[in-house]
Amino acid sequence: MKPPKKYLIFIFVLAAFKFFSQTGEFFINNYLPKEYKGGNTNFGIVQNKEGLIFSANSSGVLIYDGYSWKNTKIQGEPTITSISISNNNEIFIGCDNGDFGVFNQDKRGIYQFFSFKNNIPGNFKPGEPIKFICSLNDKTYFLSEEVLIEYAGGEFKTFLPVNRFHIRPIIMGKHLFIEDMDNGLLVLSAGVLKPVVKTEALSTRKYYFTYKLSDKEYAIGFRGLGMFKSVYNATSPELSEFTQINDAPCNTELIEAEIVNGFALNNGNFVVTSNKAGAFILDKELKIINRLNSKTGVYDENIKAGYEDVNGNIWLALNYGISFVEVKSPLRKFTRKNGINGVVQSSTIYNNVLYIATDKGVFYFDSKDYLFKQLDNFNEQTWYILNYQNKLFFSSNSGLYVYNGKTIKTAHQSEYGTIYYMLNDPYQPNVLYCGHDNGVDVLNISGEKTSYIKSYILNTDVRSLASDNNKNIYFGTSDKGIYFLNYKNSYLLDSLQLKDGLPDLKENYVFSYNKKLLVGTDEGIYSLEEKTGNKYVCIKDPQLWSLTSDGQIFRAAEFKGDVICNQTAKSQNGEYLNQSIYLKKQDNGFSKINSSLNHLKYIKANLINYDTLGKQLFISCDEGLFLLNGELNDVKKDYRLFISSIEAKTDTVIQNIFETGRTLDTKIGYSKNDIKIFPGFTSFEDNNLTEFSYYLKGKEEKFTDWKKGKEFKYDNLQEGDYTFYLKARNAFSNDIKEINFSFTILPPWYRTWWAYTIYFIIFCLFIYIVVRLYTKRLKSQNIKLEETVKLRTATIEEQVHLLADQKKEITDSINYAQRIQESVLPSLKEIDTTYHDGFIFFQPKDIVSGDFYWFYKINNNEFLIACADCTGHGVPGAFMSMICSNKLSEACFETTEPAKILFLANNAIKDVLKQNVETIGKSKDGMEIALIKYNIQTKKVTYTGAHRPLWIIKAGTKEFVEIKPTKASVASFTEYNFEYQQHEIELETNDSIFMTSDGFPDQFGGADGKKFMAKNMKAFLQEISTLPTDKQKIVVADKINNWMGPHEQVDDLLVIGLKVN
């Protein structure tokens, strides 16, 4: 006996529900009234070509830019009961007070409502809610129970019912069908509502959606009846046929759900919304392939309408809030709200049921209740779960257990610790490897019997196991590299260490790809290369290493020829971040895809494994279980970057700048030069994964670093022209979007051209008044000044004459003093007569001098000559020179020995200056001197010096000989009865003798204004020593005067030179 058809359908529905429910939940974002700051209920939702989302809300029109919601209220604040968008990107809305119109941007980009209600010809004005709007054949239709309004090219046409219209039309092909309740179905054809034949039975039934199955067949959903099929007659639409589909797979659930609306998806499927059970996704066989309800994450199951956005995801208008459903992503999830208790360590499918292992035990997914439930109260920490030989094996801290679909039994208890990982040997179907705290146990599984074979003790825990086409079994350890059973060496235990190419011994994760071994390491993915002698080494995988070398590959698995891995990498700020990456197999290698896996950014996987039965990839982690149900492709998503709003202080300057390079028409006043710029970016999956970079030309020089943000602020901008450049990127796309716009900050009123004109006029008036006042004042002062000048001039002339007289008296006195000093100095003629081969260069700083030369003829063969420098120069120096010269001459009456002469002169000068008497302010003056006695016949020189040396330049060799003086002056601080050292020197013919005061080497001059210096003077004298003495005098005078140049003479100059003949 065959089972009834309805029973078979019910079984099919249950099986399908069980299968699809285990694929996981979509990623869903719920937006509630407190977030969008509007009414509870949303009646419709659309997206325009710029990517903005518009929702018909009970308090106005909501606009979402990806970051913030705006609520635009309509005058009178009616409920917006319907919304639609035309192919021309025009948004039309209808209100509960019968008002309707277009929702467009004004000059500032702000969306405003422009009503059509008063444009309807005649006296009829709608008063009932406009419940439906659609565009068809370049016309837009607004529908309420009391009227159907046609709008095209600025013209309106109304169609009235006999009784009342049903608020949902049927749209097939180019025709709109509408039900006049209790009177039958009508079709709008050639501008006239015509009755559709044989539809009287439907006149009291309400339909809520139309699903196009083909060009001629449409499925129509009736509330309380289920699905009908219509065969559309495009030529004579009034002859279109309607029949009920009693065995439609979706009927049972849709009848109970109380359908309310529907919309088509671009992939050919259809979404039905309901008042009681959320939304259903149907395929063209009218099977329910997905459910969107409170169990799957939608906030409210009373769903009024929906819309598929440009990227194929779904927006749902709820009785309470709005939901965004990421249906295009093959990545799904189960979280704690689905009953998961604890941290998920492993997952698998067994007997078409999803099982997970957590730190709280083993759980299975109950499709009916849509919850995970604990398996037979097994609540121990569980690490790994494996579907093997039609049984479920799972490991816990206390051992290995097996579940046969009815009971749980102990399969094996390892004496070496907790089992973390299991691998059934693909080449030995009955062999099971179990990685534990100290190595690996090997078991034989045969039917219900589990027997122990052996253990490999490694003294480290094994967290991963894998095999390859070499039939080797690999053990990934936590800190000792990789061990493996070498098949070609009779399964002897071997290892891979640092010397074998492993970059590190810690946390090496082994996994198989295309029957080849891959290793996740701290430095990316490595692979195995076989060498001679059954040896193996690790190498950087030629295709995968470069894509993964920037971090540790913590977990990985093969997925339909691609590779999914979890990576821990170091970010730019030094933090370690987790991410899951999809490596897509291409013809020429692999490529990394930015995709929905970015939902797993910052999530660390405990295990990634592919279930070959369910064809799903499981990513087990602390946050729950993620499921990948299909391949990820690098699909180009349509994200739009735009400027959502610009505020100056608190005023909105402009909104919704979509085109780049725009210059704002509005100029911003200086008093409002604090600017806020709000971006819009239509990546609705997760705006926390969007980053911006920007700069303001006119204030900044370059783009900022990439960073998150919802607004960009610029305070106290100076007047001028600015251009704002903005770039955006997100984790779901490789594209970088850019936009820019220009604006002007006006100067403050006091820096405008007319302000400067006023300033100039005021300034000119001020100058004119000041000049007039000062001119008058100056004339008065000039008269007084002329009189004062005459008096002052007479006084100054009198003082000038007085000063001139005084100067003349002083100068005459000094000149007289000069004559006295010259009379005291020895006669140059007398010196030349006594010894003609010499010169004396004497150039006082002032009229009179503190330097002096002294000469005393002893006899025809001997004479004394001295170069002396007294304290000071000018008149004071001259007084000292006269005293010292006199005392030298007096000493010669007693002796002609230079040392004795200075001895007597020292005592005599100190007596004259009373330097031996302790008195306040006593004189400290004295004399520095170089004194020689020269014997003309013997060429012998006797020298005594007080702070002044004797320089001798040898003839022929020009050797420079310096005879050091006694380091004491004559008088001043020198003690009474002080004895000076005396030197005797034998000279040769043409030897030169030089004595000088300190004036010559201390004179400033030259290009740098520096002193001449003693070493330079010595070199200079060496250079001229061969010249005749009369020439030497001329050269010495020229040298010092040329050196002095414009500089002032700082001291008296005295140089004495003798040449031995």
Same domain, 712 and 699: yes
Flag whether 671 is in a domain. yes
Lowest mean pLDDT, pick from 115-129, 269-283, 790-804, 966-980: 790-804
Whether the Cβ atoms of residue 124 and residue 139 lie closer than 8 Å to each other: no
- Other CB atoms closer than 10 Å to residue 886's CB: what's the count? 16
- The beta-strand segments (E) located in 640-689 are 641-648, 651-657, 662-663, 675-681
**Whole-number pLDDT of residue 317:** 97
Name the residue with higher pLDDT: 896 or 846. 896
Same domain, 904 and 1002: yes
Chain centroid to CA 633: how far? 30
Whether the Cβ atoms of residue 363 and residue 332 lie closer than 8 Å to each other: no
- Residue type (1 letter), 768: Y
Q: Say which residues have a Cβ less than 8 Å from residue 1003's Cβ, sequence separation at least 6.
A: 1011, 1012, 1040, 1043, 1044, 1047, 1049, 1050, 1051, 1053
The string of pLDDT tens digits covering residues 495-538 is 999 999 999 999 999 999 999 999 999 999 999 999 988 899 99
**Whole-number pLDDT of residue 972:** 86
**Whole-number pLDDT of residue 853:** 92
The share of the chain scoring above pLDDT 90, in percent, equals 64
Q: Which of 712, 715, 716, 745 is nearest to 726 (CA)?
A: 712
Return the SS3 of 106.
coil
**Whole-number pLDDT of residue 360:** 96
Three-state secondary structure along 258-297? CEEEEEECCCCCEEEEECCCCEEEECCCCCEEEEECHHHC
The string of pLDDT tens digits covering residues 286-344 is 999 999 999 999 999 999 999 999 999 999 999 999 999 999 888 899 999 999 999 99
- For residue 574, pLDDT over 80 is answered with no
**Alpha-carbon span 728 to 596, nearest angstrom:** 18
**Alpha-carbon span 824 to 818, nearest angstrom:** 10
Flag whether 411 is in a domain. no
**Whole-number pLDDT of residue 639:** 84
**Whole-number pLDDT of residue 202:** 86
**How far apart, in Å, are the Cα atoms of 750 and each of 166, 719, 757?**
66, 12, 10
**Whole-number pLDDT of residue 8:** 40
Mean pLDDT of 989-1007: 92
Same domain, 830 and 816: no
**Alpha-carbon span 112 to 115, nearest angstrom:** 10
Report residue 494's pLDDT band, with 50, 70 and 90 as the boundaries. very high
Return the SS3 of 437.
coil
**Whole-number pLDDT of residue 11:** 39
Same domain, 1025 and 909: yes
**Alpha-carbon span 312 to 26, nearest angstrom:** 13
Mean pLDDT of 719-745: 85
**Whole-number pLDDT of residue 817:** 60
Which H or E element spans position 974? none
Mean pLDDT of 931-941: 94
Flag whether 765 is in a domain. yes
Q: Which residues of 555-577 are buried (b: 16+ CB within 10 A; e: fewer)?
A: bbbbbeebbbbbbbbeeeeeeee
Same domain, 885 and 948: yes
- For residue 821, pLDDT over 70 is answered with no
Residue finishing a domain among 824, 856, 873: 824
Report residue 970's pLDDT band, with 50, 70 and 90 as the boundaries. very high
Lowest mean pLDDT, pick from 253-267, 735-749, 964-978: 735-749
**Alpha-carbon span 405 to 422, nearest angstrom:** 20
Chain centroid to CA 291: how far? 43
Task: Report the chain's mean pLDDT, rounded to a whole number.
Answer: 89
Mean pLDDT of 646-663: 83
Name the residue with higher pLDDT: 928 or 601. 928
**Whole-number pLDDT of residue 16:** 41
Q: Which of 317, 336, 325 is nearest to 28 (CA)?
A: 325
**Alpha-carbon span 810 to 816, nearest angstrom:** 10
**Whole-number pLDDT of residue 368:** 87
**Whole-number pLDDT of residue 874:** 67
Output the domain CATH number for residue 843.
3.60.40.10
Same domain, 881 and 847: yes
Flag whether 920 is in a domain. yes
Q: Which residues of 356-387 are buried (b: 16+ CB within 10 A; e: fewer)?
A: bbbbbbbbbbbbeebbbeebeebbbbbbbbbb
- For residue 595, pLDDT over 70 is answered with no
Mean pLDDT of 968-980: 91
Mean pLDDT of 455-480: 96
Output the domain CATH number for residue 672.
2.60.40.10
HSE, side-chain direction, 13 A CA sphere, residue 928? 18
Same domain, 886 and 802: no
**Does the predicted model carry a pTM greater than 0.75?**
no
Flag whether 287 is in a domain. no
Lowest mean pLDDT, pick from 19-33, 526-540, 985-999: 19-33
Same domain, 922 and 1044: yes
Total number of residues shown for the chain:
1061
Same domain, 667 and 724: yes
**Alpha-carbon span 30 to 315, nearest angstrom:** 10
Same domain, 834 and 982: yes
- The whole domain housing 1028 covers 826-1059
Flag whether 952 is in a domain. yes
Mean pLDDT of 848-876: 87
Flag whether 937 is in a domain. yes
Handedness of CA 170, 176, 180, 185 (dihedral sign): negative
Number of domains in the chain: 3
Q: Say which residues have a Cβ less than 8 Å from residue 1050's Cβ, sequence separation at least 6.
A: 845, 999, 1002, 1003, 1004
Alpha helix stretches (DSSP H) within 732-752: none
**How far apart, in Å, are the Cα atoms of 883 and each of 51, 674, 910?**
112, 89, 11
Same domain, 872 and 769: no
Residue finishing a domain among 694, 714, 749: 749
**Whole-number pLDDT of residue 750:** 82
Residue finishing a domain among 780, 800, 824: 824
- For residue 763, pLDDT over 60 is answered with yes
- For residue 1000, pLDDT over 50 is answered with yes
**Whole-number pLDDT of residue 634:** 58
**Whole-number pLDDT of residue 344:** 97
**Whole-number pLDDT of residue 916:** 76
Flag whether 241 is in a domain. no
Chain centroid to CA 1053: how far? 74
When mean pLDDT is compared over 629-643, 911-925, 1036-1050, the highest value belongs to 1036-1050
Q: Which two tokens stand for residue 91?
A: 């948004």
Same domain, 847 and 887: yes
Lowest mean pLDDT, pick from 202-206, 604-608, 1039-1043: 202-206
